Structure 1
């Protein structure tokens, strides 16, 4: 579990750095925000991070586009259910394609683009309460890390 967590973290950070290099306008905007919030302090603290709204947008957009795992952990259906017009019998293993959810054109405008401004003034969060952004799963079945 520890190795899986560190591997996924490094992959997501690499994608974030790649997106910032591909989008110099975004890089400059977040650098200005960090300079404004942190100033000349030698160290960033948790209070500073809470005031960096654009940085949060960039991180959420990176999770949307480059999530840690494309498929969420499989689940077994306990009762017969109906999903989207399909009848699913009990004991069926269900895989959730989070990659497709986060690139759904009916939810996201230009879903293949890294566009962090789409999340400014947007309540969507990656904690599993908003089903259009689920990089770590949903609710009590979400990633414990």
Structure 2
């Protein structure tokens, strides 16, 4: 089992797509083990996007991500990081394939609705930025045996 962080970005919240996007992850069989609505501060944005802070376009990113509420969530499942990234599609909604979240709902590079961790190290770091250990709910859902074989 693997965990990843997703952020339903301000554009997803403002466009009232939260339920639709959450449903897509649930329908795929991923489990939500933590979730909260919050407003990202400039300080948190700098921690989250530390590798981009010195780039010329960072102020625009920070203004966007701090511009409205986001939903932060931890998803759990087999190969959850890659599954989520595949579901999201290419970073630019204009280049994302139909059937992906960004391909179906986005027409922008920056306003692309959802952030997903890009690897295990990033997922671990990002989950710790947004959630305390006691905020993550442990335990399998009763339907888990109907989503994957016991030896997966």
Q: TM bucket by the smaller chain?
A: under 0.3
Comparing both structures, which one devotes a greater share of its residues to strand? 2
Give the alignment's TM-score, normalised by structure 2.
Answer: 0.23
Instruction: Say which one has the larger Rg.
Output: 1
